[in-house]
Amino acid sequence: MLSFTRLLTAQPSDLSRSLCRTSLPSRKSTAPANLKLFFYSHPTPGPPERRRRSGRSLLPPLRPPRPARLPDALGSGAEVRAASWAGLGGPGWQRAGRVQAGICIMEKQVLESTEERTFQYQDSLPSLPVPPLDESLSKYLDAVKPFLNQEEYQRTEDIVKKFENGIGKELHQKLLERAKMRRNWLEDWWLNVAYLDLRISTQIHCNMGGPGPYIEHCWPPKEGTQIERACVNIWHTLKYWDLLRAEKVTIERSGNTVLDMNQFRMLFCTCKIPGVTRDSIGTYFKTEAEGECPSHLIVLCRGRVFAFDAMHEGSMVTPPEIFRQLTYIQKRCHSEPDGPGLAALTSNERTKWAELREYLIDLDPKNLTLLEKIQRSLFVVCLDDSSPHATPEDYTELTRLGLTGDPTVRWGDKSYNSIFFSNGTCSAFCDHSPFDAMALITMLAYAEKKIIENEGKWKGSDNVRDIPWPEELVFTVDPKIINEIGRTKELYYKQVSDLQLVSYAFTSFGKALLRKKKLHPDTFVQLALQLAYYKCHGRPGCCYETAMTRRFYHGRTETIRPCTMEAVEWCKSMLDPSDSTYQRLQLMHKAFAKHNKMRKECENGRGFDRHLLGLLLIAQEQGLPVPELYGDKAFTASGGGGNFVLSTSLTGYTRFSGSALPMVQHGYGFFYSIRDDRIVATCSSWKSCPETDAEVLCRTMFQCFHDMLQLTVTAQL
């Protein structure tokens, strides 16, 4: 057994001898028929009849890793500093349900439970309701008003009345019948329509990501700290997995109302699987009561894939042992040729990736076993060579690289990729389909809490057991696959190079002052964004904000539409020099009240967007023509059908922020977290669109924050 202290302080010759004493996997060097990527695998069922094609390796014989150069920051002894990361939002109606809008305030949550079991109330949660048809249509008419003139609105009103008294009534009745047969009438539809039916690159357009905030209170960017910070970070994530398996993660609540916890099952051991016409989700997580659960990690580094088990002889590997495993992988990858970068294929358009996946399986049936190994893994650890600049006031580069960085070291279909950069900064990158961001943030907040409690250091045993070395995961590939990887990377970088993204902290004030002023912090930001968009573009901006519906069985999200008539009237008043401060303040209060009312209605299953989607899908299933309501100008102009120009999410009242891309070419992606003393905003747009500028919108919104606060101060004089 090699102690962690010795690992840190050993002379090169000692380290080499210690590593050599542990048995290493052997591998012969032979000439290739097909290039293979060595993969740690275990037998899993696959198609019974597939031809096996032989392949050999171009890689040199395996040798013990060169002596590790140990990070200066670790000092002596077994103290390992650790970092964590963050995650967040995704696209709208026709895409992803966004971050659940700040309902769970993490600083008020207890993250470990000993009295309740995590999933014990699942069967007692209420079913997702179907709102009354007349109520939903009335709200829809109210939402489209800002985008229509009087003549257009009258036409839309006639269309809505015709729908309500005709086909809409029939579709609504069928939806009610569906709801009687299902506890959540929307669940399967939403998963398919918002995520699994998409044929675009979901890694680029739908995945969510976000930077780790540890540069603010643990350690600034520093070269050479990648592995030392990763090992404790990973360990705390594994501890959360262990708590989840034991059902000791605290049940979340909104006030006294229990929230659905189903999404937490998909944080680990979950992966999207590409299909030619529709993807699927494989989830292999099990609680202790349900049985055995996969316990291995996947590590991506320089185009190569490795795996090692997070459990050894019934106990979890420790940070010193994770350090040993990651150092081994890093040294091999830095001293040997780069791998083919098979992970880049996950960034493909979905049908293309599905076809290439089938081709890989036909090439060698072993490839299916290897793909399933990745799918079943706890999560993916990404060792990225980039060193993004980051400060507590400017997360731009770290956020951008976390979201659109090297595709060969991200498995885009995996529910959770934990990215560690060369300079010790970190980020999260997640497939959005299995869960919304607040589930992820709960886990990240747990890790952050534990890391802070331990001052960013490992204070446990420094012993390193003789655990098996990581094994490289090797696919059989051929020239076609190698060419496709190159083509995919070229297309990926071309697409993401068009992205403009900024992530800044507004530090003049935050939640504490807004609460003192009796202004809801989320509504404050949403109205400021409406004003900023109006200033920049001279018109109202149809906007999507997430509301959480987790008080219902398997609930996910509903759409709040912040661009109300009340908000537009206030924006116009703010730009009208003839209006008094009192008039502006009164209009602002009306806009606040309207937004707050909509939020509560949506959280209680009384929104209208998901209802209208359900009616449309009923019509499609019945083979009926698309009702006129959905082809009306008002529907698209107000954002329906995935046409919101402002696609927004609150990532809660924590240090964790996030990002995703705009929903439309001429739109913005906008994500924000609200803390006591600051508001961190991330804004994205496309460079190729001459109408949009993420930098300008973000800076304008910060000025609007000041204008709104000044309005409340001046009115009191």
Residues known to be catalytic: 432
Look up residue 254 and give its DSSP letter.
Answer: E
Only one residue has tokens 């009438």, namely 185
Burial 400-413 (b: 16+ CB within 10 A, else e): bbbbbbbbbbbbbb
Q: Which residues contact 664 (CB under 8 A, 6 or more apart)?
A: 642, 643, 644, 645
Which amino acid is located at 316 in the chain?
Answer: M
Look up residue 575 and give its DSSP letter.
Answer: T
Cα distance between residue 617 and residue 432, in whole Å: 22
Phi, psi (degrees; rounded to nearest 5) at 368: -65, -45
Q: Which of these, 279, 270, 91, 271, lies nearest to 199 by C-alpha position? A: 279
Q: Which of these, 118, 123, 125, 380, lies nearest to 264 by C-alpha position? A: 118
CB 379 within 8 A of CB 237: yes
At 218 the three-state DSSP class reads coil
Residue 142 burial (10 A CB sphere; 0-12, 13-18, 19+): middle
Q: Which of these, 619, 609, 620, 614, lies nearest to 137 by C-alpha position? A: 609
Segment holding 355, helix H or strand E: helix 350-363
Helix ranges, 166-261 (H): 167-181, 187-191, 202-205, 226-245
Q: What is the dihedral of CA 172, 178, 180, 184, to 10 degrees?
A: -100
CB 211 within 8 A of CB 386: no
Q: Can you give the three-state secondary structure of 446-515, one letter per residue?
A: HHHHHHHHCCCCCCCCCEECCCCCCEEECCEECHHHHHHHHHHHHHHHHHHCCEEEEEEEECCCCHHHHH
Which amino acid is located at 524 in the chain?
Answer: F
CB 106 within 8 A of CB 654: yes
Which two structure tokens, joined as six digits, stand for 96? 């992803």
